Chains A and B, each alone.
Chain A
Amino acid sequence: MKVQRKTKLDSEIPTASMPDIIFMLLIFFMVTTVLREYSGLPISLPKAKRIEKLKSKRHTSHIWVSKEGLISIEDKLYQAESIRHVMYEKRVSDPQLVVSLKADERAKMGLVSDIHTELRKADALKLNYSSKTAVD
């Protein structure tokens, strides 16, 4: 004797709201993405303990300093004396600018000191010495 099922069980995942969920994720990733990435120079960062996170990538500008003394901003090499012009323009277009100094741990302080002077001349005063977290 064949028993007939009276009600058909609907066993489908509702797909109507799928685009909405995906759109939400999409918007999240769109907002958090910064498309411009610069490769910089090959460096090994120094280590430190009292580390702060940089608040926003949008307001951050990087200066790479290699151990040979090369200075790179946005993948272009600069002389120490011309940093002030580059950074001044950035400072004017973004008053919240934070400069992240990605210098090699073997870089010489004479050069870093020159960069300090240049940044002060360009009025880009918020500086961040990029470093890795030290573990002991």
Chain B
Amino acid sequence: MAGKKRRFKGGEIPTSSMADIAFLLLIFFLVTTTIDMDKGLGMVLPAEGEELEINKKNILNCLINSTGNVLLGGEGVEIKNLSKTIRQKLAENDKLVISVKAHKASSYKDYVRVIDQLKQANATRISIAESN
């Protein structure tokens, strides 16, 4: 089949609608994007089977009971005063490990408040004991 060869009329892609297409895509991604990031208290859990033996005098027990009261090393402390007390204790012994133990029925809110207080006191060695 020997058809008549059409005359080549300049092969250009129409670019006038390019902006419109890009705008459409832009609006789609603008609508689906959520800029706000998640925030929270960071924590690194110890690996499984990595339990360390710690000298007893370097451990500070922090117990939370089901009503939200905190016992720090045998003394009752209000949660909002916790960071001050812990800062003092860290100044005395910088190897101090704070072991947080929460009662099963205690609320997550109190636990987060305690962890927040520990972070405010710049305590880096925090241990989370299994609640039982």
Contacts and interface: CB of A to CB of B under 8 A. Distances in A.
Which label, helix, strand, loop or mixed, suits the secondary structure of the A interface? mixed
B116 A128 contact: no
Interface string B40-74: 11111111100000000000000010000000000
A86 interface: no
Contacts of B93: none
A47 B39 CA distance: 11
Nearest to B32: A33
B107 to A, nearest CB: 6
B39 A103 contact: no
Nearest to A129: B41
B19 A130 contact: no
A90 B45 CA distance: 17
Nearest to A32: B33
A130 B39 contact: yes
A30 interface: yes
Interface in B77-132: 102-109, 111-113, 115-116, 119-120, 128, 130-131
Residue of B30, B47, B104, B108 most packed against chain A (CB within 10 A): B108
A117 B47 CA distance: 10
A116 B102 CA distance: 13
B108 A49 contact: no
Given A127-B45, A128-B41, A19 B116 contact: no
B75 interface: no
Interface stretch (A3-11, A50-58, A73-81): A50-58
Interface of A: 15, 18-19, 22-23, 25-26, 29-30, 32-33, 35, 37, 46-54, 57, 60, 65, 100-101, 103-110, 112-113, 116-117, 119-121, 123, 125-134
23 contacts: A30-B29, A32-B35, A33-B29, A46-B109, A48-B41, A48-B113, A48-B115, A51-B39, A52-B41, A54-B37, A65-B108, A105-B109, A106-B108, A109-B64, A109-B102, A109-B111, A112-B108, A117-B130, A119-B45, A129-B43, A129-B112, A130-B39, A130-B40
